[in-house]
Amino acid sequence: MKEKIKLALAQISSKRENKKENLRKIEKFTMKAKEQAADLVIFPELSLTGYVLHDQIYELAEIIPGPSTKRIEGLAKKTGTHIIFGMPELSEKTEATIFNTAVFVGPNGFIGKFRKMYLPTHSVFEEKRYFRPGYQTAAFNTPVGNVGIFICYDIFFPEVCRLTRLKGAELIVCISASPAVRRNYFEILTAARALENTAFLAYVNLAGVEDGLQFWGGSRLVSPTGALLAKAKYDEEDLVICEVDYRDIRPAETFIPTLRDLRPEFFEKLKKHSETL
Amino acid sequence: MKLTAPVLELELAEVEKRIRRFIKEYIENAGADGIVLGMSGGIDSGTVAALSSLSIGGDKVIGLMLPEKETYNSKDINDAKFVAEKFGLKTQICDITPVLENFYKTIPIFDQADKICKGNIKARTRMIYLYYYANKLNKIVCGSSDKSETMMGYFTKWGDVAADISPLMDLYKTQVRKLAKHLGFPTELAEKPSTPALWPEQLAETELGVKYETLDLILYGLERFMTTEEIAQQLSVQKPLVEKVKNRWLSVEHKRRLPLTPKLEYRTVGTDFRLPRHTY
């Protein structure tokens, strides 16, 4: 595993329901990132299809691996990069059960996937109407590091990030489709999740406007001590290349020893009290 | 939550940016050649005209002034012209009086004394003009309804509210006034009393029975699920006033939705037919 990797925060604006065009854009951004020696290129939540899909999602969801993931696997092989992107995943076992999924591919093909665990269904969000939640956190040991993934609203639940970290992730990727009115929350939570877990946190948000919903962009890389290492533009498409130096984790862990100080006995209490809320 | 005027304060530069982006993106995706909007001389339509012009360039925006003789007010025309000149958009004046008079003449049950029914004809006639221009010139109609009016149902169904986009519909009236000042409107124009101009001397605050400064705070509280007791207490107003506002807000949902249809089939328009809104 490399001590240092170059990350590309590929903050794109997706064309709703147009996988062909979005795949082209993913290719274009990956090629640009490759020119700047990126090892891992990260695209936002549902970047393959756009976020505001309503019932059209049934026409757009694909099994994984499927045609779109195959194409992005080909791109990863061709460029020698690792790529994470979001798409609606159709269950292999049913006809219309869909997950909000992050896909991870590398030069050697498919690495793994993460299914969003917490589905926002409030305000402008209606994800529980369409998606089944995932039940597993994800951390993948790869040549670009031990990379964990979760999606957007999962960040509001610290246990998701904590579990991902406890599985060994040192770079935690949060892909997102967050509207502008929620920008403050994510700016706080991205720093908090990185700091409390002493891990790098790469947050990649959609940009652009879908059905009046404005995504705020602002993708970022946060250090294991909560420092903002790189930040993309607000609102607009952007490609930011930044560096993760895994050697920074050890001093962070000694200075902020939250993992050493974990108290597992509280988790039982947490379980009990959340069941009786 | 403390229900006082500061809760309605906005980051005006951010709001301006978001609305301009919203308008620009919509026009681009729609493949439209611009915007047509009605300019009454009031602050809502003036603000929308300004924002439209700032978003896509004044040469692509037409402000239609649609006066009629009963409510004609040269100050309104002058105010609309002032805004058009300041923000560089084109205007046209269409006197709708002859059309209205023919409507009145040809409706067998027309009742001259019923000013609401008559006034609604005016609002709907203006809508027809706006959509003619939009269709003919491949533009979209930009509405100027604000959140206060929309929540109160203080508009004509399929009339002044009819539009392809309504960039101000999430801002209360007092917030629109602040946004207008931020955009460079003179205070006198930004604070100009609001009127739907359906009949002479009509004033919004008189009809609604409450000042916008109070109404907006009541609506803000209702929006955030505060009880009528809490709102009345915090604003030091009578509870019946808050209840009246709440009842009116809830009773006019039919004006803000597609017509209701019985659920008979698999997916039903307006209820569970959920499709993305395509603008392209």
pLDDT at B113 over 80: yes
The residue type of B197 is: A
B263: in domain? no
Lay out the sheet containing B61-65: strands in order across.
Answer: B90-93, B61-65, B35-38, B140-141
- Which residue in B274, B275, B278, B280 has the most chain A C-beta atoms within 10 A of its own C-beta, making it the best mutation to test that interface? B274
Residue B149 belongs to what domain range?
Answer: 5-256
Nearest to B276 among A52, A214, A235 (CB): A52
- Which residue in B11, B169, B269, B277 has the most chain A C-beta atoms within 10 A of its own C-beta, making it the best mutation to test that interface? B277
Nearest to B18 among A17, A52, A214 (CB): A214
State yes or no: is A152 an active-site residue.
Answer: yes
What chain B residue is nearest to A53 in terms of C-alpha separation? B276
Residues of chain A with pLDDT under 50: none
B276: in domain? no
pLDDT of B255? 96
B187: in domain? yes
Q: Is B275 an 8 Å CB contact of chain A?
A: yes
Task: Render pLDDT for B26-57 as a digit per residue (tens, 0 to 9).
Answer: 999 899 999 999 999 999 999 999 999 999 99
Average pLDDT value for residue range B186-212? 93
Nearest to A211 among B18, B273, B276 (CB): B276
Please, what is the average pLDDT of chain B?
A: 96
pLDDT at B278 over 80: no
Q: Which residues of B touch A235 (CB under 8 A)?
A: 17, 21
pLDDT of A128? 98
Average pLDDT value for residue range B224-229? 97
Residues forming a β-bridge with A200: A171
pLDDT > 90: percent of chain B: 93
pLDDT of B279? 53
Nearest to A209 among B17, B22, B267 (CB): B22
Q: Which residues of B touch A214 (CB under 8 A)?
A: 18, 21-22
Distance to chain A for B174, nearest Cα, Å? 20
Q: How far apart are CA A25 and CA B98, in angstroms?
A: 55
Task: State pTM to two decimals.
Answer: 0.93
Residue A57 belongs to what domain range?
Answer: 4-275
Cβ contact, residue pair B25, A209, below 8 Å: yes
A44: tokens are 């936002």
Task: Render pLDDT for A138-161 as a digit per residue (tens, 0 to 9).
Answer: 999 999 999 999 999 999 999 999
CB A162 within 8 Å of CB A173: no
Q: How far apart are CA B103 and CA B99, in angstroms?
A: 6
B196: in domain? yes
Which CATH number belongs to the domain containing residue B233 in this structure? 3.40.50.620
Q: Give the total number of structural domains in chain B.
A: 1
Residues of B tagged active-site: 44, 149
- Which residue in B23, B25, B273 has the most chain A C-beta atoms within 10 A of its own C-beta, making it the best mutation to test that interface? B25
Which CATH number belongs to the domain containing residue A218 in this structure? 3.60.110.10
Q: How sure is the predictor about B277, in pLDDT bands with cuts at 50, 70 and 90?
A: confident
pLDDT of B276? 85
Task: Render pLDDT for B164-173 as a digit per residue (tens, 0 to 9).
Answer: 999 999 999 9
Q: Closest Cα partner for A10 from A79, A110, A99, A88?
A: A79
The residue type of A79 is: T
Q: How many CB pairs under 8 A join A and B?
A: 30
ipTM value > 0.85: yes
Per annotation, catalytic residue among A45, A89, A127, A170: A45
Task: Render pLDDT for B11-23 as a digit per residue (tens, 0 to 9).
Answer: 999 999 999 999 9
B71: in domain? yes
B269: in domain? no
CB A202 within 8 Å of CB A185: no
B274: in domain? no
Q: Give the total number of structural domains in chain A.
A: 1
